[in-house]
Amino acid sequence: MEYKKGLEGVIAAETQIGLVDGTLGHLIYRGHWAKELALSYSFEEVAYFIWNGEFPTEGELVTFKEQMTSYRELPSYIKTILDTLPNEMDVMSTMRTAISALGTPAFAWPPTIDQAMHVTALLPSIIAYKYQKNQGATFIEPNPQLDHVANYIYMIKGQLPSEVEIKALTAYLILTIEHGMNASTFASRVVVSTESEMISGVCAAIGSMKGPLHGGAPSEVIEMIDEIGTIDNIEPWIRNKLEKGEKLMGFGHRVYKTRDPRSEALKVVSKDLAQESDWFNLITQMEQTAIDLLEEYKPGRKLYTNVEFFAAAVLKGLDIPKELFTPTFTSSRIIGWTAHILEQSQDNRIFRPQSSYTGQMPEQAAKF
């Protein structure tokens, strides 16, 4: 057996949920282009589709939305736990702790779509509760009149969002629902392959997502654009970075060796959101100049913008605070995790790979 560090290139599962083709720049959810779903469907429609494998009828969508809305309410014991946790605990750890407390009989094995809806609907309320608590503000209770995405913005900002804001965040959330056998998705499948319940799988996934190598950092793109400051400074700033051998944030990807389809779709919605603001002009000019200069300094490496680049524009345009960037990403990826948990449970075999022992052997033969 050949050892593959990080399991690179190893196929760990068969799935019908999503396909990432980094050479062609394809991201497909159950036979549909993710970027088209992101620009034309609601968050609830895509969530339903990912979990059920088919789109809802009008009636099914109404019922689905009503159920999701009813699951947003934070149980009082979760509020008590959130009140007890120290403010300095980061949002991802807070989410992991609060979700862990849901490990009740209602979430027992086997995993169900209803459980997936429940935990997905609750997550934005946990994020908003923690955020408002850290601000010293009162929690803004979920608004049952609003759909999932609008309600999330409302609970964070305390204002009803515009249609453009809802469309932009919907696109970002749909585009980050699923991305193949990434570390957190794999972690969730490994945990439930032991027939442990969905909540344990989600907690493992949140823990995995928290790591800086996975959870992403669109905030670093914002810092980079702020540092560049003016259009005249773009080229000298980039040359200086590349000559020092430093990387440009939001460019390059381990899988995509062409344009990241998520970046393309986010560019469309962030443009509507920014309405030609100076900051947006700066980021779009930076994109083109950087692609040209990356080809000059790193010929043939095929470096383009990744999802983080225009995610930064969307999240900045929405005024989402930086500490909520990874939690917001998590609030959509939980749909991918729970879909994989359901899929794993339907044709389960416990994960049990091998390790290659590189330690010492005893000096003498065993005595008994």
Catalogue the active-site residues. Answer: 253, 308
| Angle, helix 113-135 to helix 198-210, in steps of 10 degrees | 50
* Count of positions (residues) in the chain: 368
In terms of CB distance, is 157 or 298 closer to ligand ACO? 298
Residue 20, phi then psi, degrees to nearest 5: -115, 120
Which residues, in sequence order, are CB contacts of 306 under 8 Å at separation 6+? 250, 251, 252, 253, 256, 260, 262, 263
In terms of CB distance, is 160 or 181 closer to ligand ACO? 181
Q: For the chain, percent helix, then strand, then coil, each to nearest 5?
A: 60, 5, 40
Closest approach of ligand ACO to the CB of residue 222, in Å: 12
The answer to whether the Cα torsion of 157, 163, 169, 170 is positive or negative is positive
Angle at 129 between CA 123 and CA 132, to 5 degrees: 140
Residue 355 is encoded by which pair of tokens? Answer: 């390790």
Closest approach of ligand ACO to the CB of residue 43, in Å: 19
Closest approach of ligand ACO to the CB of residue 134, in Å: 25
Residue 181 is encoded by which pair of tokens? Answer: 């056998």
Residue 104, phi then psi, degrees to nearest 5: -105, 170
d(C-alpha 270, C-alpha 309), whole Å: 11
The 10 Å Cβ neighbour count of residue 24 is: 11
Give the largest Cα separation in the chain, rounded: 79
Closest approach of ligand ACO to the CB of residue 303, in Å: 5
Binding site for ligand ACO (CB under 6 A): 216, 247-254, 294, 298, 301, 303, 306-308
Helices (H), 106-216: 113-135, 148-157, 163-175, 183-192, 198-210
Closest approach of ligand ACO to the CB of residue 22, in Å: 9
